[in-house]
Structure 1
Amino acid sequence: MQERTVDHPDERIGLRKLVLYRDVVLTEAGTAPVRPARRASVAAVIRNPWVNAGLSADLHAEQSRIAPALARLLTDRLIGALGGVGEIEAFGKAAIVGTAGEIEHAGALIHTPYFGNLVREFLQGESIICFADTRAEAGETVIVPLWHKTHAATRSHYQTVSARVPDAPCADEIVVIAAASTGPRPHPRIGDRETDPAVTAETLEEVPS
């Protein structure tokens, strides 16, 4: 698939840098997975548009302007890194806000339709997108949870990707991340939520105290 790009993203959304990580697990417990999954994350480091704006500031205008551009920018690069949108089976998202901002600034960019709905559409998913967000200094590692993009109950695709930008976020920046995988964990064998038995404290003979 041809990669689509955003016109002048540095001017439109305050983009400073993009960071792409890719990995593939070739063996685990001494055995190669039946279908090794390729995983990737793409992080965009942008200027926080709400620094010093105060708690009464309306976040919507910048949210609706910046988040769609980020959704396109990040998913284009995920699709390119993993060999096409049809290869992607699991997805997730995250944001890290610099110390001059608020955790709400992360939510403004990744927890609304302006980002989440578009990421889901561009990656041809249907599931709610798992997420992580935090407020931290530069270099913080965030663990991005993933699950199946169309079948959220498919437990084999519950996995995580670690993402880190060594020099970001600066105090007045936000790191926004999209992540994806082309398959399940190595050697999945714990069943699915759709076929689980009904388990409650009453159905078990003994629950350890």
Structure 2
Amino acid sequence: MTVTDTRISPGTDDTYVDRLRDEWGLRKLVVQTDEVLLEGGLAPQTGARRAVVAAVLRNPWVGTTPQRDLAPEVERVAPLLADVISARLIETLGGVDQIEAFGKAAVVGTSGEIEHGSALIHTPYFGNLLREFLEGQSIICFADTRGGAGESFPVPMWHKTHAATRSHYQTVTASLPDMPHPEEIVILAAASTGGRPHPRIGDRTTDPVVTVATLKEKS
């Protein structure tokens, strides 16, 4: 299966949801949002809404060995996940033009390998498509871990076109009360319409040169 064959397109994901449910055991889609109204007692000069979408599905590699080639399943399921998740982020935040920052994460249940989650978010079949759907250019920052139901998982984000823009370095926490089960994987993506409240720590493009040598010169 190729991306062209599946006609991946945000906003036309009903068929993809059905396929993920019927073929890959998609159990639940969760959308969480937040908006900071006060930080340090003051309203942010520029408000931002943040959203995280989580898709929990059956881990197709449970019971296989670490020598198992993961590519066949990745090429089939990851594009569907990228389409469904990005469509919900775009809808939740009011359009792709509103999105300024993005990130991704995977949480593997206790019966799986960390590599199983990494396979679904770190290949072009997910990451490249998510970036394209959200009209980004930056490498998508990420987290991957193993966990169980009832835990909270951080999803890091940065600017979707200017990764050096430090004001958009932020993390949204996903609360997943009943996922993943031991034989499941949760795939998450997050997006924000702006940066942190009251950013004032400069920017990587304008930072001074800081090395051990320069610090010794100042001491």
Normalised to the residue count of structure 1, the TM-score between the two structures is: 0.95
What root-mean-square deviation, in Å, do the aligned CA atoms of Structure 1 and Structure 2 show?
1.4
Write out per-residue CA displacement over residues 143-172 of structure 1, whole angstroms, 9 at most, x where no aligned residue. Answer: 111000000000000000001211110011
Q: 1:171 to 1:207 in 2, by over 3 A?
A: farther
Identical amino acids, percent of aligned pairs: 64
Unmatched segments (≥5 aa) in structure 1: none
Structure 1 residue runs of 4 or more that deviate by more than 6 Å after TM superposition: none
Instruction: Map 1:85-164 to 2 at 5 A.
Output: 85-164=96-175
- Cα distance in 2 for partners of 1:87, 1:129 equals 17
| Partner SS, residue 180 of structure 1 | strand
Write out per-residue CA displacement over residues 101-127 of structure 1, whole angstroms, 9 at most, x where no aligned residue. Answer: 100001110011010000000000000
- Cα distance in 2 for partners of 1:203, 1:195 equals 16
1:62 aligned to which of 73, 81, 84: 73
Report the count of equivalent residues.
Answer: 207
Q: 1:6 to 1:65 in 2, by over 3 A?
A: farther
Write out per-residue CA displacement over residues 149-203 of structure 1, whole angstroms, 9 at most, x where no aligned residue. Answer: 0000000000000012111100110000000000010000111100000011111
Match status 1:39 vs 2:43: no
Match status 1:204 vs 2:212: no
Letter in 1 for 2:24: I
- Cα distance in 2 for partners of 1:174, 1:166 equals 14
Question: Is residue 6–residue 72 contact of structure 1 (8 Å, CA) maintained in 2?
Answer: no
Normalised to the residue count of structure 2, the TM-score between the two structures is: 0.91
Unmatched segments (≥5 aa) in structure 2: 1-9
| Partner SS, residue 39 of structure 1 | strand
- Cα distance in 2 for partners of 1:84, 1:33 equals 22
